[in-house]
Amino acid sequence: MRRFSLLLLVVIAGLLFGGCTAARKPVPPAQPRTVVVPAEKSISFDRVDPAKAPDEVKDVAKAMGNTAGTAWVRTGTDTYLLLNQGPQARRLKAEINDVVQRIPRDNFTWLEVKVKYTRQAAVPAAPAGPVLTIARVGKLDRTINGVGFTFSRPAHVPAAPPPSGARPSPAPPAATAGLAAISTPAAGSTITSPVKVSGQGRHPGGELHISLVDGRGHTLAGAPVKVPAGHMGPFETTLHYTAPASPQTGYVEVLAVDGGQEKLLSRVQVTIR
């Protein structure tokens, strides 16, 4: 009898434990978390007083000197964007108004810095040194592989290229060019940064504006030049710009500003590298 009772207890215990094991569901494996990174997005930035910038940034700004141009510096976890308008920046003021993070592929991230030109109501006195703008981009979730700058002029300035297939025409001589004629670079030539622009011009206000624009009408670089008011006289300046990823058609233009409006006086077509 004792043996029978012991056997019965063993059978009952086996049924109880076996039933619990059968009822327990397996725990599903943890699924990896999927993080979707947008191909492009605007990111925040802060403007920095050049006097309070890190020493590395000051070193780059000092190396740029009085030459108009752009640069970027990475120090620690911050990326600094430098925009130097040069000492002749007067009528047009350039400001960094947007920074876009672009990720064309998984292992490459770059920043597009959008710079907008605005016309100042009154022409200020010539600055003693370069007009330097510094912006700081804080720590990002991805490593920055490069930085590019794009420029846009005031919306009222027409910048339409000539019809497709039009052959570049050489710069007309000063006697028939009205108020300006471009000597260099020559029409149809290939240019690289920095590019020297020279020619002849005149304007009652004593000043003309030289611009380098791409085929879409975006300004890559610009600078004012002094010219005689009553007769044709020589002008010369040097433009610095960020080279495009591949050669593209562009234009060197001479503009006159009358009553707040820009008038195209002379233009040559070039290949920008």
Mean pLDDT of the chain: 78
Domain edge (last residue) among 107, 122, 152:
152
Residue 148 and residue 182 in one domain = no
Pick the range with the lowest mean pLDDT from 3-7, 111-115, 147-151.
3-7
Query: Is 256 inside a domain boundary?
Result: yes
Residue 52 and residue 91 in one domain = yes
Domain span at residue 92 reads: 40-152
237: its two tokens: 């300046």
What was the pLDDT predicted at 267? 87
pLDDT at 61 over 60: yes
Looking at the DSSP bridge assignments, the partners of residue 267 are 253
For residue 178, give the CATH number of its domain.
Answer: 2.60.40.2550
Angle among Cα 207, 133, 120 to the nearest 5 degrees reads 40
pTM summary value: 0.47
**CB proximity list for 117: less than 8 A, separation 6 or greater:** 92, 93, 94, 151, 152, 153, 154, 219, 222
Q: What is the pLDDT of residues 209-259, one digit of tens each?
A: 898 988 777 788 888 898 888 788 899 999 988 888 888 888 999 888 776
